[in-house]
Structure 1
Amino acid sequence: MSDRFEVDREFLFLGRTFEEYLDLFELTVDDVTDGPILDCPGGPSSFTALASALGTETTAVDPMYDRSLDELEAECSESIERNMAQVREKRDLFEFDYYGGVEGRGRFLRAAAERFLSDYERNPDRYVSASLPSLPFADDAFALTLSANLLFLYDDRLDEAFHVDAARELARVTGGELRVFPLASLALERSGLVDPVADALREDGHGVEFVPVDYDLRPTAEEMLVVDCEGNG
Structure 2
Amino acid sequence: MITDAAQESVPEQDVLVTSRPLDEYCALFGLTRARLAALPGPVLDCPGGAAALAAEARALGCRVIAADPAYALPLSEVAARALAARTSMAAAMAARPELYPSPGPRRPDRYLRSWDRARRLFAVDSATHPQRYVAAALPRLPFSDGAFALTLSGYLLFAYPELFGSERQLAALIELVRVTAADGEVRVQPLHDGHGRRCGHLDRLRYALGGRRIASEVRRVSGGDGRTRRVLVLRAVGRHPRRRPSSRL
Q: Which amino acid aligns with 1:74?
A: A
Contact conserved, 1:141 with 1:174, CA < 8 A, in 2? yes
CA positional deviation for 1:77 = 1.1
CA positional deviation for 1:19 = 0.6
Contact conserved, 1:46 with 1:113, CA < 8 A, in 2? yes
TM-score, length basis structure 1: 0.87
Quote the Cα distance in structure 1 between the aligned partners of 2:143 and 2:28: 25
CA positional deviation for 1:30 = 2.1
Match of 2:207 in 1: 199
Partner SS state of residue 185, structure 2? strand
The alignment-based identity, stated in percent, is 35
Q: Which amino acid aligns with 2:112?
A: G
Residue 116 (str. 1) matches residue 119 (str. 2): no
Residue 59 (str. 1) matches residue 68 (str. 2): no
Q: For residues 57 and 231 of structure 1, do their structure 2 counterparts lie closer, same or farther at Cα, with a shift above 3 Å needed?
A: farther
Match of 2:15 in 1: 11
Q: Give the counterpart of 2:189 among 181, 203, 214.
A: 181
Structure 2 unpaired stretches of 5+: 1-9, 241-249
Contact conserved, 2:26 with 2:223, CA < 8 A, in 1? no
Contact conserved, 1:183 with 1:225, CA < 8 A, in 2? yes
Match of 1:134 in 2: 140
TM-score, length basis structure 2: 0.82
Q: Which amino acid aligns with 2:170?
A: V
Q: Which amino acid aligns with 1:53?
A: A
Q: Give the counterpart of 2:84 among 54, 78, 82.
A: 78
Contact conserved, 2:26 with 2:33, CA < 8 A, in 1? yes
Quote the Cα distance in structure 2 between the aligned partners of 1:92 and 1:136: 37
Match of 2:93 in 1: 87
1:53-90 CA-to-partner distances (Å, cap 9, x unmatched) read 32222201000011222112211111211221232233
1:17-55 CA-to-partner distances (Å, cap 9, x unmatched) read 101111111112122122211111111111111112322
Counting only pairs closer than 5 Å after superposition, residues 89-104 of structure 1 correspond to structure 2 as 89-91=95-97, 94-97=100-103, 100-104=106-110
CA positional deviation for 1:170 = 0.3
CA positional deviation for 1:232 = 3.5
Quote the Cα distance in structure 2 between the aligned partners of 1:92 and 1:201: 31
Contact conserved, 1:152 with 1:194, CA < 8 A, in 2? no
Q: For residues 173 and 90 of structure 1, do their structure 2 counterparts lie closer, same or farther at Cα, with a shift above 3 Å needed?
A: same
Quote the Cα distance in structure 2 between the aligned partners of 1:121 and 1:99: 34
Q: Give the counterpart of 2:170 among 164, 174, 182.
A: 164
Structure 1 unpaired stretches of 5+: 1-6
Q: For residues 185 and 198 of structure 1, do their structure 2 counterparts lie closer, same or farther at Cα, with a shift above 3 Å needed?
A: same
Q: Give the counterpart of 2:29 among 20, 25, 30.
A: 25
Contact conserved, 2:50 with 2:79, CA < 8 A, in 1? no
Partner SS state of residue 57, structure 2? helix
